[in-house]
């Protein structure tokens, strides 16, 4: 069993709140996580049609069946239950009464806003981090990009191509098509593959709409559903006034790089080695590692990218209060002094905010300077740890 870094945060929140809700993509291990963290809790899966029917038709009788504390898995299947759970916790101040899991942000967010605002702690479980991935240190960059980070691939040593094909056809097509009521599956599959080909690029809904053959409104709706299903994220641009016209369009990334790799038609590690967007896939992998490092501690990512109208760019900008920590991501294995060009530029335009810059790359040579640390990609999260404690060195 893979021990998850978010485990302690989950336990701590259950000791402080009456309800804890944990969301995230399908197959990231939410069920295993909550059952492991709370082995004495009653467990109820709302994926079961009979259980779901009772919960829908007679929610009071359903809730009376289970003594608290209880885990309700995939709560978005019966969001009306949240109103009844609200009544229960309003009359009982005991902590950790309900642990809820869900895989669809839109359905849950609306229900939580209406019923559980201020009553539940919220966590997001993404795929495995490097620290959680079995034998991560033994895997090459290309193996990581091919295998992705969904637990089943690693725990059961599954063939990534077959796994992601089944994952896409079952969870993605079933869940997403249900929400979107997509009639032309070929169009939607084409849309997904186009998204994979634009990893790390500015999100251009108009261009994608033209290629897919649907309206811009439809593409924007599809993007919203992909985000709500935790399949993609949009990395926002940094908007502070730094004396330049800044790009205001977000960048697109997949929450699991393995799915993006599959959608690109990659069927072996050899296909990745010379793939034209290998560098973008590497960037996707590192950015998700940084996001996981924050969300596994119950924190907002506070991650942005910087780009101005003159083409000056920083891959990731971590903001902590008024402090700025720019990060450059490079897929090369050989260190080059030019890697820090963007960091030097940002230091020039934001001398007060700049605290330290970081280069995250695929090599093992880790030069240090007074204001820049170099980190191997497997230790990407160390950049955020340095920012938290305010001192330290690059990964060793």
Domain of 43? 7-124
Q: What is the CATH number of the domain that holds 66?
A: 3.40.50.300
Higher pLDDT, 225 or 293: 293
pLDDT level of residue 112 (50, 70, 90 thresholds):
confident
Out of 36-45, 113-122, 269-278, 328-337, least confident range: 113-122
Mark which of 70, 103, 124 sits at the end of a domain: 124
The answer on 145 and 258 residing in a single domain is yes
**Mean pLDDT along residues 182-198:** 87
Query: Do 185 and 267 fall into the same domain?
Result: yes
Q: Does any domain span residue 188?
A: yes
Residue 243 confidence (pLDDT): 58
For the chain, what's the residue count? 396
pLDDT at 219 over 80: yes
Give the pLDDT band of residue 395 (cuts 50, 70, 90): very low
* pLDDT reading at 241 higher than 70: no
Q: Is 39 part of any domain?
A: yes
The answer to whether residue 91 is domain-embedded is yes
Q: What is the percent of the chain where pLDDT is above 70?
A: 93
Residue with tokens 């229960």: 88
Are β-strands 19-23 and 98-102 bridged in parallel, bridged antiparallel, or unpaired?
parallel
Distance, first Cα to last Cα, the chain: 28
- Whether residue 129 is contained in a domain is answered as no
**Structural domains counted in the chain:** 3
> Could you count the other beta carbons within 10 Å of the beta carbon of residue 241?
6
Same domain, 317 and 251: no
Give the model's confidence band at 105: pLDDT under 50 very low, under 70 low, under 90 confident, else very high.
low
- Is the pLDDT confidence value at 117 over 80? no
pTM of the model: 0.93
Span 14-42, average pLDDT: 96
- The verdict on 341 and 262 lying in the same domain is no
Q: What confidence score (pLDDT) does residue 392 get?
A: 44
Residue 229 lies in a domain: yes
In this structure, the answer to whether residues 232 and 100 fall within a common structural domain is no
Residues 259 and 185 occupy one common structural domain: yes
Question: What angle (nearest 5°) sits at the alpha carbon of residue 310, between those of residues 304 and 316?
Answer: 20
Tell whether 89 and 162 lie within a shared domain.
Answer: no
Arithmetic mean of pLDDT over the chain: 91
3-state SS assignment for residue 120: strand
In this model, does residue 111 exceed pLDDT 80? no
The answer as to whether 94 is a domain residue is yes
Give CA–CA dist 263/285, Å, rounded: 15
Q: Which pLDDT score, from 0 to 100, does residue 393 have?
A: 42
Task: Find all residues with CB under 8 Å of 271, minimum gap 6, and list them.
Answer: 265
Check if the beta carbon of residue 154 is closer than 8 Å to that of residue 138.
no
pLDDT at 353 over 60: yes
Indicate whether 358 and 336 sit together in one domain: yes
Residues 120 and 175 in one domain: no
Does residue 268 sit in the same domain as residue 201? yes
- Mean per-residue pLDDT, 67-92: 93
- 257 in a domain, yes or no? yes
The predicted structure's pLDDT at residue 145: 98
């Amino acid at each position: 069993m893979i021990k998850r870094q978010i485990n302690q945060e989950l336990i701590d929140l259950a000791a402080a709140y009456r309800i804890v809700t944990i969301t995230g993509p399908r197959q990231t291990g939410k069920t295993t996580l909550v059952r492991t963290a709370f082995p004495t809790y009653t467990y109820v899966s709302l994926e079961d049609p009979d259980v779901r029917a009772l919960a829908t038709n007679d929610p009071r009788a359903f809730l009376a069946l289970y003594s608290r504390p209880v885990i309700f898995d995939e709560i978005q299947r019966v969001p009306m239950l949240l109103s009844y759970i609200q009544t229960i916790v309003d009359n009982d101040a005991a902590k950790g009464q309900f642990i809820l899991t869900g895989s669809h942000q839109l359905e849950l967010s609306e229900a939580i806003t209406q019923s559980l605002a201020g009553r539940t702690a919220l966590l997001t479980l993404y795929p495995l981090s490097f620290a959680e991935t079995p034998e991560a240190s033994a895997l090459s960059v290309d193996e990581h990009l091919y295998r992705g980070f969904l637990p089943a691939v690693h725990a059961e040593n599954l063939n990534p191509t077959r796994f992601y094909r089944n994952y896409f056809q079952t969870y993605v097509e079933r869940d997403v098509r249900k929400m979107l009521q997509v009639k032309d599956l070929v169009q939607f599959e084409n849309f997904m593959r186009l998204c994979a080909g634009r990893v790390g690029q500015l999100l251009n809904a108009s261009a994608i709409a033209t290629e897919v053959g649907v309206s811009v409104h439809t593409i924007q709706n599809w993007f919203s559903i992909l985000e709500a299903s935790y399949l993609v994220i949009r990395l926002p641009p940094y908007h502070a006034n730094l004396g330049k016209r800044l790009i205001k369009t977000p960048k697109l990334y997949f929450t699991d790089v393995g799915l993006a790799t599959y959608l690109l038609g990659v069927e072996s590690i050899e296909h990745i080695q010379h793939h034209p967007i290998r560098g973008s896939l590497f960037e996707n992998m590192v950015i998700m590692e940084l996001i996981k490092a924050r969300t596994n501690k119950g924190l907002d990512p506070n991650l942005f990218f910087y780009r101005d109208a003159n083409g000056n760019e920083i891959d990731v900008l971590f903001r902590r209060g008024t402090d700025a920590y720019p990060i450059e991501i490079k897929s090369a294995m050989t260190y080059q002094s030019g890697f820090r060009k963007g960091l030097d530029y940002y230091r020039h335009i934001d001398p007060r905010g700049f605290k330290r810059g970081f280069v995250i790359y695929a090599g093992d040579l880790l030069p240090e300077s007074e204001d820049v640390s170099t980190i191997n990609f497997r230790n990407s999260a160390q950049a955020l740890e340095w920012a938290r404690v305010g001192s330290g060195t690059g990964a060793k």
